[in-house]
Structures are given as C-alpha cells and as structure tokens.
Structure 1
Amino acid sequence: MAISKQHYHHLFENIHCKKNEDIIIKISEIIKPHSDAIATHFYNTMLGNTKAAYFINHDIVKDRLRASLSAWIDLAFSYKYNSKLITEYIDYQITIGHIHGRVDVPMSFVVYGMFIIKDEVIRLLEESSFNRDDLATAMILANQIMDLGLALINESYQGDLVVNEKDVQSFKLQFSTHNLAIDCERLRASLSDWMRELLLNIQQERINISSLPNIRHSNFGLWVTHKAKLFLADSEYEMLLRLLNNMDESMCALTAEFDQLDKRKEKLNSLDQYVSKTMWLLENIAKDIIAQDSGRDPLTRLFNRRYLDTVLRHETECSLKNNLTFGLVTLDIDFFKKINDTYGHDSGDKVLEQLANILAHQVRAGDFVFRLGGEEFLIVLSDIDEVVLKRIGEKIRLEVESTKFVIEKEPSLTVTISVGVAMHDGHPDFLRTIKLADEALYEAKRNGRNCLVVAA
C-alpha cells in the first residue's frame, strides 16, 4: 500500500476521538434511518448510466447489493470507540477494493458513486437540527469518513490493478509473437473457408436456413470473442470485434430476407465486403507483429517506438530518485525525400541502415538508440549533463557529415543531419523532454539544417 494501514489507523483514531463522539453518534442517528433510501437512490442513479448498469443488473441489486450498500453506510458513520473496530473497518474497506478490482469496475464509477452518497449525506445533515457550529464540524467529519473510506478502497483496487496488469503482460509473453502472426494467417484461411462453405450452402436448391454456418461459432468468431483482447492492441481488437458484429448482423439480415433474391444478393455483397476487410486487417496485424517482433525496427535493427515509453519512464524514475539526469538527442536526415526521389527507396533504405550503424557506434553501452519512423531517430543518453550532451550530439552530426554513404548509384553520397538536444528538467512527465528536443530539432531545420540546437 502507498499509505500504510498504521497511518490510516492513526487518521481514523483522530476522527473517532472522544471529542467527536457525540457529533459522530448524532450523524449516525441522522443517516441510519435513511441508509436504505440512499442505497436505492445510488442504484437508481447508477442504473441510469448505461456503462455503469453493465456492472449492476436489477436482480443483483434487488437480492444483494442494495442491502450491502445500506449496511456499508451504517457502518461508515458508526462511532468506532476502540482500536479493534477501526482495524476491522479498515480491513473491510480493503476487501471492498479487492472485490471492485476483481470485477474490474472502473475507479471512475467508484468515485462517482461516492459522490452520490456524499451528496445525500450532506443534504440530510443540512436538514438536521445541528446548530451552526456543530453542523460545520459534522460536515467536515462526514467528508473525512467518506474520503478515507474511498482512499482505502482505491488503495487495494490500484494494488490489484497493478498485479492484474503484470499477470496479463506475463501471459502475453508466454504467447510468442511468431505464434500470434501464425494465428492471424490461420484465421484468414479459416474465414475464407467459412465464406466458401456459406456460398456452397446457399447454392443448394433446397436449403435449411438454420444450417447456414454461424460466424460467431466459427474459429474466427471464437478467437475474437475469447482470445483477441488478451493479445492485440485495443484499437485492433475493437476493429475486429466491430467487423465480427457487422458480419453477424449481415448474416441475420440474410437469413431474414433469404427468399428475396435482390435482397439476398445485397446482403451477400455486404457480407463479402466485411469478410474482405477482416482478412485485410488480419494480414496487416500479422505484418505489424512480425515487424514489431522483439521491439526492433526490421530495417535498422534499432529499437522502435514500442519500448520508448518504458525506457523514458525508467530514466525519469532514476533521475528523480537518484539525481541521475538524462538527455535526449533527436535527429533527422536533411532532404531525405530528395534522396528517395533521386536514387530510389532502396537507396534510401541503405542510407538509413548506414546512419543507424553510425549512431550505434557513437553512443555508450548504457544509452538507447531508437528509430522513430521514416528518417527520424532519437537517442536517450543517461547520467549526463548538458555540456556532454551537446558535445555528443555535435560529434554525431560531424561524423555523419564526414561519412561517405555508399549506395548503388552513388559510391560517395554526402548526407547531413539536423539535431536537437534537450536535458530532462526534473519533471515527472517525460513527454515534456521529448517535446523540447523536437522543438530544438525544428529550430535546427529553420536555421538552415546540418546544425545542432540546444533546447531553451
């Protein structure tokens, strides 16, 4: 836990001290008769939100959750006159957090739910017989009680979230990218077979509509439903799921209007388009998986963007904890489009390979070199100051300028680069440092290229 249970215990002891006993008991007397109504209002409000309603259907609310929330409200505002009661209450909040984490309820819903409860509690206190001074104290105590309860729930929820994410990542690592790419190719073949079977069935003179193959029960449908989310990026998974739903809807429409020849052709054409889009998407996913394998750029064998955030997050943590500052060098090949247009893309690739080799030999063992895409590269230099950062950046620029690049149609091509450098300024958001380095790179280009600019 980020904050120890002992500290939470101390905070609750301060709330449930002898001085506050009478006010907390009165708060409980005011709230307890209305706890069922608050719970009902809570669930009615939550069920009005379609996304929140996904987690709490009406039967469960009726049978268990409303009563559980009502009991939670009663317990939250009861006076805890000894250490044992406080410890039990803390453990109870932690258990609630574990349950929310296990069910995967978004924390935003938990916070919103607490807001609903808090709003009702404050309203009841305002309508109570508390005098002005005691009302102010009661509201402060009620807010503290609910805020600390939410903090404890959040503590265990976030802890479970981290563990779950580590388990997911570990599970992904057990499934090699090579196998995933093969799966995508198999699914393309399976989808093609499914479409062919469908067309063969339709061509029969007498056909039982119910015998048409169901896309959701096909190998493709089962894989998307049960496996895809575990291995693919969210955007890829959502596109595949959307296409699966489109195919399913087209099949339903085809079945409903099967006897109308024109409608049948129209639905088959729509279905064929969705199948073609899906096969194209699976092919591209497989290509991306192979290209991203091990996080290396396939052309230069440098790191690609995949692990950039991981490296920068680690370097930022080292910088903040150990005062080991790092710097970034961003660089771009000058007039690279002209090289491609004049000598061809194969020659452009040769230039990129040779530049990558120069960069790899100009950095230290603890540094990282990334190809961001196209002709843009980024170097992470650890444990460095601005003077050394500038010197290394300039050394790289001069080395590139003095190197004779060898391509098929030009044995001694001169290539130059523009360079921007930036030091990490101690801010926990490393994207600021990337932005500073990028701005310095653009300034170098505006200054005529083949130069280095230090971020202001």
Structure 2
Amino acid sequence: MSDTIENTVINDWEQLIAGTTATCIQHNRELVSKHSQALATHFYEHMLTTDDASVFLSHNQVKTRLHGSLQQWLITLFDIGEHYDLEATIALQVQVGEIHARIKIPMHIVLRGTRYLKQFFARLLQQEKLSPQLQNACLQHFSDTLDIAIEMMGYAYASTYDRNTRSDEVYRLFSITQNLSTEREKQKGALLSWENRLMFVYTVGEQEGQLPLLAASDFGLWFIHKGSHAFEDYPETQMIGERIKIIDEQLLPMMQQHQDATGLQGLHRIREETKRIKFLLNDIFTKSSELEGGRDVLTKLLNRKFLPSVLNREIAHARNSRSQFALLSMDIDYFKEVNDTHGHEAGDFILQQLSSFLLNNSRSGDFVFRLGGEEFMIVLVDVNDDNAQLVAENMRNKVAMEQFSLPGGQPIHITVSAGLALFNGHPDYQYLLRRVDKALYDAKRLGRNRVEVSLSQN
C-alpha cells in the first residue's frame, strides 16, 4: 500500500477523533469493551446463515479463533485514549485485509458484517438511556470508525488480491509453457508469420481493403491477453505495446493509402519495428521475468513465488472433492559442513543432485519446490494421514541410502530432516505453512534424519 494512501487515512482518522467529544469516545470505548462478545456473536450468527460466508467460516478452528479476534479487534479499534497508537491500529487493518485477500473472503461479506454490527450497536445505545444528541453522536462515531477501518482493509485487500491474482495467472501461464525457450520461439514464429502474411497481402492485393492488424494476429492476441500481463513489470513490455500501436495505427494506414514509394516506405518501417519487437521479446524471455522467476535458478525447481498459487488451488480442490493434501518440508542435515569442507561449488552440486532425486521420486502430480538454501518442499496431492507419512518416510530413507557425488566424483552421503503437515480444512495456507515449519523444526531438534508429523488435528 502506498504511503500517500496511508497518510490520507491517518489524516482522516485523526480528524475523526479530534471531531468527537471525549464523552462520546469514552462511552463507546466502555460499551464496546463490555459487549465485545455479544457483538462478535451477533456478527458471526448472521454471517454463517449465508452460503457465501459459510464456505470460509466452516472450519471449527477458524470460527473459534475469529470470534476472539473480532472481539479484540473491536476493543483495539475503540480504545482511544492518551496512548492510542493510531499507526499500529492502521497496521492491524492492513494485516486483516491481507489475510482476507489471502483466503479470498469477498469484501461484500465483510461489509455485510459491518452493517450488522452497526445495527446491533444502535440497539445497545438505546438501552443506555442517553440523550438523543449523545446517542446520535456515539452511533455516528462508531459507524465512522468502522467505515474508515474497513476502508483501510479494502486498500490492503485490493492490492494483495491483485498481486495474488497476477501470480495465479502467471502460474497458469507457467504451467502451460514450462519450456520458456519453446514459448519464445513460438511467439517469434507467430510474429514472423504475421509479417509474411502482411507482405503477401500487400503485394498480391488479397486484403479486401484491409491489411492484417498486428494486434489481431496470433502474436498480438498472445501479447495483449497473456504476455503483457505476465511481464507487466518490465519496461520492454510497454515498448512492445507501443510498437504494436505504431504499426497498427500509423504504418499500416500509410501502406493502405499509398501503393507507391510511400507505401513501400511504410512496409520498410514495419520490418524495422518487427525486428525491434523480436529483440525486446528475446530480452524479456532471457531476463529474470515473471515466468522465469517461477523456477529456482540453480535447481530449476519451482521457487516459493508460486507456492501461494499452488496451495490456494489445492485448498480449493480439497474442499470441492473432499480430499486431502500434505506439505512435506525437508532440510539437508549439516549442509553448512558440506560447504565449509568441500566449498560452495560442491554444495551447489549436491543441491542440484538432490533436486533431480526429489523430482524423480515424486509423482507427476506433486509439486516440488526449493524454498531457498538447503530447504525443499513437496506438495503431496490426494493423500491421507497414512500414505502421506509413508511417502515422507520412504523419501527420507531413500535420500539416506542414495549415493551422491562431489564435483570430482567422490561419493558423499547426506540425510534430510523432514516435517509433514496434512491439510485439515483451514482456509489460510499460512496456517498450514506454520504447522509444517514447526514439524521440521522438531525433526531437527530431536536428532535430524527423521520425519516429524503435524497431523490433521485443530
């Protein structure tokens, strides 16, 4: 979220507080603190009656934790006093918005819940026998505070959701075009086909009054609907888009209107522009682009960039199919000693061999990641408690029995510590990651070369 947005919200929030009487602030603080449990209960009783909310709030652990979290959120929001930390309060709204985006709770559900809270708080105020003026002021302050908090959540939600959506789309493209060099040649070929088609139509006169637009060609459609999205952070992408517009809006009309030297000049310039596009396209594919960034440079495994996309997809699949999946996190034991004794080149060589080993010993439907350093993770799809543990133990045992080699050919044996966590219905993948991290930590703490399991309990 940008500093400008945050500063604007801080300024608005400060004005809201300054424009509210101390009596009203104190009364709302005490009323919210006294009735926080009832407010949270009212919120979730209404929320769970709708199908679109029950999908996200069906897990018992979620309901239990969220009920307490909502109470604390309300208390923190209205605990306005001498030591009120507005920046921390705003940071909390950002965090909540990011969590909602991560588990894809629609904002309309949050807004609906806010509406119920306002209605319930109005009834609480009526029971306090306040003067109409004070009652209206307190209700206005309560409503305005909720609105500005939800506004901040919305900013965080939108930016996080957009970022996750881009990552999901890039992952989809990545999964389709796993060989980037092939995709690059395919698009260069599509661009060449359009250029050849243009030259043929122009010289033979087959166009029926219209020359083929680059934006409507196979390359143009790929670039507009896929490439520009996947590579949007790179300046070369914008330059390609500009070249396409120049060709379609300036040079093709020049050729269309003139069948003489001016038209040929337009054709010559188009050929120069397409050469430029090919150069830019090649540059994009060879740089650390969004698609290339999905693979670890050393091992060519998936890196953590696409882990959220994969986990969200597997959570959705598990819900729809009533199946399970698991995370198997592994760390090479005493890997620092390998680097210190044999050098980092040897360490990299070991990492590459282990990566190939994990891929060759995983099912084609599983996802193998290198998270960084000597840590790897496998997403085991369509498993249950028993066979997931069997897979984990077999993998650990196979690594221990495998003979790896140093760059000079000398044999070396390595072992791995592993943590295993089964998906248990919680909609936030971060919860599952915390569980598998804890299991891996326990495996290393308890002696290494072992598997520790976090089963599907709440």
Q: TM-score range by the shorter chain?
A: 0.3 to 0.5
Q: Indicate the structure (1 or 2) with the bigger Cα radius of gyration.
A: 1
Using structure 2 for the length normalisation, give the TM-score.
Answer: 0.42
Using structure 1 for the length normalisation, give the TM-score.
Answer: 0.43
